[in-house]
A and B are shown apart, each in its own frame.
Chain A
Amino acid sequence: MRHLTTEELVELYYGEAAEELAGHAAGCLECASALAGLREDLAGLAPDGAVEDGAGERMWEKLRPRIVGGPRVVRVRWASWVGRIGVGLAAAVILGLAFYAGHVWERGRKTPTVAVDGRKTPAVTQVGPGSPVEAKDEAPEEPAKAGRRGAGTEQRAVIVVVLADQLDRSEQLLVELNHPDDAAEDGGLVRTARQLLAENRLYQRRGQNEDPAVARALKDLEPVLTAVAAERKGMSEAAIAELEKKLNTDNVLFEVRVLRSRVAHGTAGAAKRGDA
């Protein structure tokens, strides 16, 4: 005979269990005793939170200046739909123009890649969302070769520092995923994943000619970040366990740790080269 699981007992306690479970608990001494124990434990957590009289009036006094002072009530009327469509079309046209202008501007900004240490490096790089860092010396002339090398090294040092930060945060996220604790469900994990995902894609796009190990780690990180970022609020322990199993986050964490240690050495090396 199968006894009720704890989950079924909780369902039964809250009156959401199937009838056969209730029937079983009524006839089974062990399950009835478990249910009584649960009832006793939860009985102590009785509802509280009495509200004083006049709380509504006091609340209105606090809200009134904000409401009566300048209400902005959104009203939907069929009659205004024509106007709304017009506004929508205008917005679409503006967006389209802005997109085209951005595209043209971006194309104009693209400069030839600069050869540094036998490797092609883009002259302009992106260190984070919306913060472009331009190489200071882009002159292709022969006498400026040493200067170009210095600028490339500086630029690479910046990329390495920013990448190290990204890997640090990715590592923290993976550690949380591999050890789901109470903090995992408050939505912070999801927000971090969304931010990291955007940055990760940026690095992947920008770093096509970079170290293949970096490219691989970023690529392996992508599905993990995508899965976490797709959650609406927080992630339950069960969802995290599923993710761990499906995407082998243990391996990705290992890969990120190895890479981070390499990148950390690279930071020191790049800084040293920059000083010299």
Chain B
Amino acid sequence: MAVMEANDQNTVRAVLGGDPEAYRELVVRHSGMLLRVAQRITGNAADADEVVQEALMRGFRKLGTFQAEAGFGSWIYRIGVNCAYDLLARRKRDAGYLDSGTDEDGGALQIAEPGAGPERLLLSGEMRARQELAMGSLTALERTAFVMRHMEERSTAEIGEALEIGPNAAKQAVFRAVQKLRQRLAPLREAR
């Protein structure tokens, strides 16, 4: 990790020294991590790709303000999370104009009886669909905070820092997300 950070710092110096081609190294090194978190937050690959392009461009433009001691990886990660959050919020707002934003099925999902063979497969497919639906019901803030906490294993302080909110607000966002998810996944729990 320390070697990578030292490499990053050398690369940043090269870019700032007037060699934009050097930015390629940073893009190649950190795109994977950015794509992963962006896909988890936005929920799809196309949006994730857009987010990562935006984050890396923003990083390039703001490279002069980058504080070396923070580590380029953490810095660009925060930018990526912010871009993903912004895009998700925008998508949710746009979707809000098209529908009322209510949970269409109201929890009335038909769960197949868990048995062997095809029924089990059907249940697993329904579980995935239900999980996606449940994740989709979260607000942009809740989803971003939950992904960072549950899937990215980031601390509350890191979530707060990335989303520019206080640690308590970050903790509350995670808590609300967990509550909503459990509520929406309750039919699956009963079917198990």
- Assess the A44–B140 pair: CB atoms within 8 A: no
User: What CA separation (Å) do A234 and B169 show in the bound complex?
Assistant: 11
**Chain A positions within 8 Å of B31 at CB level:** 51, 55-56, 59-60
List chain B residues, Cβ under 8 A from A182. Answer: 92, 101, 137-139
| A74 in complex: contacting residue of B32, B52, B64, CB < 8 Å | B64
Complex: A236 Cα to B155 Cα, angstroms = 20
Please state if A186 and B16 are interface contacts (CB–CB under 8 Å): no
Question: Does residue B151 face the partner (Cβ distance < 8 Å to A)?
Answer: yes
> CB distance A236 to B181 under 8 Å?
no
Cβ-defined contact, A64 with B40, below 8 A: no
Interface residues on A, range: 35 or more
Residues on B facing A (Cβ under 8 Å): 15-16, 20-21, 23-24, 27-32, 35-37, 39-40, 48-49, 52-53, 56-57, 60-65, 89, 92-93, 96, 101, 127, 131, 135, 137-142, 149-152, 155-156, 163-165, 169, 171-176, 178-179, 181-182, 185, 188-189
Q: Apart from A68-B21, A183-B92, A236-B172, what are 14 other A-B pairs with CB-CB below 8 Å?
A: A16-B156, A42-B150, A51-B39, A56-B27, A56-B29, A60-B27, A62-B53, A63-B53, A71-B20, A73-B63, A74-B65, A185-B140, A186-B89, A234-B140
Closest 10 CB pairs of A and B: A56-B28, A74-B64, A56-B31, A47-B151, A186-B89, A71-B20, A59-B31, A49-B39, A185-B139, A60-B27
Q: List 12 A-B contacts (CB under 8 A).
A: A16-B156, A49-B39, A59-B28, A59-B52, A60-B27, A60-B28, A67-B60, A181-B101, A182-B137, A188-B89, A233-B163, A233-B164
